[in-house]
Structure 1
Amino acid sequence: MTASRKTVGTIAVYLGTCMATIAISIVTVALPAIQKDFDADITALQWIVGSYALCLSAFMLSAGPLGDRYGRRRVWLSGVAIFALGSALAAGAVTLPMLIAGCAVQGIAGALVIPGALSILTQTYRDAAQRSRVIGGWASVSAISLILGPFVGGILVDLFGWFSVFLINLPLGLVTLILGRIGIEESADPDHAAFDPAGQLLSVIALGALTLALTEAGRSGWDTMLALSAFVVAGLSFLAFLAVETRVARPVLPVDLFRDRRFAAVNIASFVLGFMGYSSLFFFSLFLQDAQQLSATQAGLRMAPVFLSMAVLASRFGRLSHRFGQFGPMVAGYALMGVAMLGMTGFAPDTSYALLFALFLLLGVGMGLSVPATSAAVMTMTPRTRTGAASATLNTMRQSGMAIGIALLGSLMAGASARALTLGQSAAEATAEGFGVAVFWGGISAVAVSLFLIAAMRPSARAQREQA
């Protein structure tokens, strides 16, 4: 493949990543407007964001093997096209279920696009140094997309309405399809691809039931019949899923890769990254707009330091990994995210933006280190013929974490806010109270995983530095 064609293909992959990633952040600033139009409660807002994250994570395990089996280019381009269709459905929604359905279609398509990006880049760039650079660029694009999401989304919502945050994906998807057809070379490894419909079905049921249980627990209580039943279904489905995966010839979850302690540890870290990092966008938007009474545009601008610092650090990841390896930046990233979120627990409606800015900046630095380091570490540990499955697993863990984070932390936020209201606090104070509870547990999980990574991976740190 010529260098110019590689460049075109890389741009296409970056644009596809931008389209799928911007959907995570752009809708967050539209939530108050959606809430007003549809007279929705916080549970409905959880499902709008959560349906995307849920479908994204639930179908990712199959997406990687589909690319390995039927062609990474073909499956990835199909995902881009379906994503544009889901965006059109959400933009034209006249009911809340229709909007949630559109976001769910986006999530299914994103499951084809996001893991496929890492797999395509790994297949295209054989040199380890080049691969680290383009993966760092991929992480930078993700960060920039997260920046553009709240900023552009806030402007669109204030000028045109919430539906416009979905329409932006249509021209972006068209350009991505054109460049992808020109610049991406087809590759496949059907002999190593998984085919496991039972495992796929059970994973969808388990994750969907758990999300329902956590969301319902926040709305109606942890001891309601629906919540308890959903927890039981989730537990039984997960046990059945593990049983199937250990027996099927080609499992959708690469169980054999998890025998590597480092691979397992990094995937657990990826789950926590989604649980506390990606889900935090949901809480930031509600805090800024509902507690501090800012407009969508103002909220988007104030969230920008998170993503700007993330983009700067991610763009320098190639150099950082060459000097320090992947282990050090990864542990530092999770620790910084934890410190930043724990520092947000005392946020109030009148908290100055100077403090918000400092902690948002620190959080972005942590994400800028952890996102590319986590992705590159998994790709380094994985045989080239298994990159699709490994990338899908990594991203499944991250997006599953996001779905569960929105459900669990959202439920904790809703419960704390409701209690604050019963004690006579204002709506803004109650929102801030709930926000503090959510970011506290998010921060604790990040600090815990940084310590876990040290314990699980320290013996291999020297080897990783030598490979970098």
Structure 2
Amino acid sequence: MFKPSPYHPRFIQIATCLGFVLVLIDVSVVNVALEALRTAFHADLTGLQWVVNAYALVFAALLLMAGALGDRLGAKRVFMAGFAIFTLASVGCGAASGLPSLIAWRLVQGLGAALLVPNSLSLLRQAFHDDQQRSRAIGWWGAGGGIALAAGPVIGGLLISALGWRSIFLINLPVGLIGLWMTYRYAPASPTQAGRSLDMPGQMTGALTLATFTFALTQASSLGWQSPVIVGALLLSILLGSLFIWLEARHPSPMLPLALFHDAAVSSATVIGLIVNLVFYGMVFSFSLFFQSVQHRTPQQTGLAFLPMMAILMVMNIIAGRLVSRIGTRWLAVTGLLISAIGYLLMLPALAAQSYLPLVLPMLLAGSGIALTIPTITHATLAAVPNTQAGIASGLLNAARQVGGVIGVAVFGFFVRQGETTLFMHGMHLALYTAVALLLTGAAVGLGGFKRHQQIPSL
């Protein structure tokens, strides 16, 4: 076995990017595979939503604990555990014999993803001490996610056409093994906080709150919002959420320190992160169904259709990493949200044209705006907290983003639940109007929450 080599920040950066790539590629790839999964398992819309949301649910529910666990045991150790779990679960997904089995392995994938993401940011923070270098490293980290989102639909479409849907999960095996090896060999041991509490009561109530909330939103597509089951689940999630806040306010070392929200930058970034993912993942799910069910595109053609929106993410993430220290968080975040809102608004007349070409510019704008926003709010969050809270702060931001993704897939999926084309397109229009309204709300939050001339200070 190789012995760990001396500290090497660039290889650490590559390893963290590979981890983030794995986490996000399984979002974009699964969306391209929706029709293949519907055919293979005779799945209904609710079943397809669970394939997407089972992963996002566990991811969101465990992110805060994963950040605290990294602070307690060391980011390197927890990051490697996440890599190993995610890789193993990907093999399980590829071997699934039915929809319940696939959903179960997607839950395990969510655990691995939760361990990977906040600790990848902690490793970057430890590896790069210079502010400018750190900004660029986080920009490339975000670009890795952009690459995953851009390449995922295209590669996934090619793999599904050539080898079947199972191959989109099995492709994670070599990537995961490479990432594990690079982290083990090049990343130094991370500092630990042996006395850091994991706050299991808070973790359990928080996870149950998200689980009941996700169940209600997802099952509403088949049961309807007036179903006693849905109403009961929503009420239970409210009660559990209230209990979670009560427990965190009284715990001596809470999983989620409520004092974090006293900082306007952290609270604003958290709200914006939720909104951005709600819109983005909700619309990706809706457009995946539109391209495959309404326009009858193959998985490969669907992947190519998403290429403009996804590919621009990579470029704009890198640009954002360079601009954020010059322009400041307030104007870069607000500008990104407004650009994205304009893109989604322009999709309305583009859909009416009933051809693909008019969608290209709106998709570029929508992707560009989101790619400007995510690195900006990530920088703002990490800059607002001390080193000892880097893991929990990044976990909070990414948990909010994943909760947003769960809500987006559930709510926008409800909008487009009807198979008849006219009703489906009515749902698409409603989803787009909702997306624009939410992004404008996010811009207002950023305008009020970030300081006028706030630059990213040295961390």
Please state which band the TM-score falls in when normalised by the shorter chain. over 0.9
Q: C-alpha deviations, 1:326-370, integer Å up to 9, x for none?
A: 221111111122222232235548622221111110011101201
Partner Cα distance (2:350, 2:357) in 1: 12
Counterpart in 2 of 1:150? 153
Counterpart in 2 of 1:461? 452
Q: Which AA in structure 1 matches 2:338?
A: A
- Contact in 2 for aligned 1:214/1:407 (Cα 8 Å): yes
Counterpart in 2 of 1:34? 37
- Contact in 2 for aligned 1:64/1:391 (Cα 8 Å): yes
- Contact in 1 for aligned 2:327/2:455 (Cα 8 Å): no
Counterpart in 1 of 2:50? 47
Give the superposition deviation at 1:219: 1.5
Counterpart in 2 of 1:138? 141
- Contact in 2 for aligned 1:199/1:241 (Cα 8 Å): yes
Does residue 79 in structure 1 map to residue 82 in structure 2? yes
Give the superposition deviation at 1:84: 0.9
- Contact in 1 for aligned 2:31/2:284 (Cα 8 Å): yes
Cα distance, 1:463–1:433 mapped onto 2, change above 3 Å = closer
Identity, % of aligned pairs?
34
Secondary structure, aligned partner of 2:250: coil
Of the three residues 11, 14, 26, the one matched with 1:23 is 26
Does residue 445 in structure 1 map to residue 438 in structure 2? yes
Cα distance, 1:193–1:342 mapped onto 2, change above 3 Å = farther
TM-score by length of 2: 0.95
Counterpart in 2 of 1:267? 270
Of the three residues 168, 183, 198, the one matched with 2:201 is 198
Of the three residues 395, 404, 409, the one matched with 2:407 is 404
Q: Which AA in structure 2 matches 1:319?
A: R
Counterpart in 2 of 1:379? 382
- Contact in 2 for aligned 1:321/1:329 (Cα 8 Å): yes
Counterpart in 2 of 1:219? 222
Secondary structure, aligned partner of 1:251: coil
Give the superposition deviation at 1:295: 0.9
Counterpart in 2 of 1:277? 280
**Runs of at least 5 residues in structure 2 that lack an aligned partner in the other structure:** none
Does residue 126 in structure 1 map to residue 129 in structure 2? yes
Q: Which AA in structure 1 matches 2:121?
A: L
Counterpart in 2 of 1:291? 294
Counterpart in 1 of 2:369? 366
Give the superposition deviation at 1:143: 0.2
Query: How many residues matched?
Result: 456
Q: Higher mean Cα deviation, 4-13 or 197-206?
A: 4-13
Counterpart in 2 of 1:7? 10
Q: Which AA in structure 1 matches 2:453?
A: R
- Contact in 1 for aligned 2:379/2:456 (Cα 8 Å): no
Q: Note the 1:317-328 alignment, pairs <5 A.
A: 317-328=320-331
- Contact in 1 for aligned 2:59/2:402 (Cα 8 Å): yes
Counterpart in 1 of 2:248? 245
Q: C-alpha deviations, 1:268-289, integer Å up to 9, x for none?
A: 1111111112332211211111
Q: Higher mean Cα deviation, 273-282 or 174-183?
A: 273-282
Q: Higher mean Cα deviation, 102-111 or 309-318?
A: 309-318
Q: Which AA in structure 2 matches 1:26?
A: V
Partner Cα distance (1:53, 1:392) in 2: 14
Cα distance, 1:409–1:347 mapped onto 2, change above 3 Å = same
Give the superposition deviation at 1:194: 3.9
Q: Which AA in structure 1 matches 2:333?
A: M
Does residue 164 in structure 1 map to residue 172 in structure 2? no
Partner Cα distance (1:151, 1:431) in 2: 25
Partner Cα distance (1:382, 1:449) in 2: 22
Q: Higher mean Cα deviation, 391-400 or 327-336?
A: 327-336
Partner Cα distance (1:443, 1:351) in 2: 21
Partner Cα distance (1:432, 1:194) in 2: 49
Partner Cα distance (1:99, 1:283) in 2: 21
Does residue 395 in structure 1 map to residue 398 in structure 2? yes
Give the superposition deviation at 1:127: 1.3
Partner Cα distance (2:379, 2:456) in 1: 13
Partner Cα distance (2:6, 2:333) in 1: 31
Q: Which AA in structure 2 matches 1:283?
A: S
Q: C-alpha deviations, 1:305-337, integer Å up to 9, x for none?
A: 112211111112232123312221111111122
Q: C-alpha deviations, 1:409-442, integer Å up to 9, x for none?
A: 212222xx36xxxxxxxx3444333222222212
Q: C-alpha deviations, 1:137-174, integer Å up to 9, x for none?
A: 10111101101110000011111111111111111101
RMSD across aligned positions (CA): 1.8
Partner Cα distance (1:234, 1:219) in 2: 19
Q: Which AA in structure 1 matches 2:179?
A: T
Give the superposition deviation at 1:4: 6.9
Of the three residues 419, 430, 435, the one matched with 2:428 is 435
Partner Cα distance (1:186, 1:21) in 2: 26
Kindly report structure 1 stretches of 4+ aligned residues shifted beyond 4 Å: 1-4, 346-350, 465-468
Cα distance, 1:443–1:193 mapped onto 2, change above 3 Å = farther
Counterpart in 1 of 2:185? 182
- Contact in 2 for aligned 1:334/1:447 (Cα 8 Å): yes
TM-score by length of 1: 0.94
Q: Which AA in structure 2 matches 1:450?
A: A
Q: Which AA in structure 1 matches 2:399?
A: T
Q: C-alpha deviations, 1:40-69, integer Å up to 9, x for none?
A: 111111000010111110111100000000
Q: Note the 1:298-337 alignment, pairs <5 A.
A: 298-337=301-340
Cα distance, 1:428–1:4 mapped onto 2, change above 3 Å = farther
Give the superposition deviation at 1:256: 1.3
Cα distance, 1:240–1:466 mapped onto 2, change above 3 Å = closer
Partner Cα distance (2:27, 2:14) in 1: 20
Q: Which AA in structure 1 matches 2:324?
A: S
Partner Cα distance (2:135, 2:356) in 1: 35
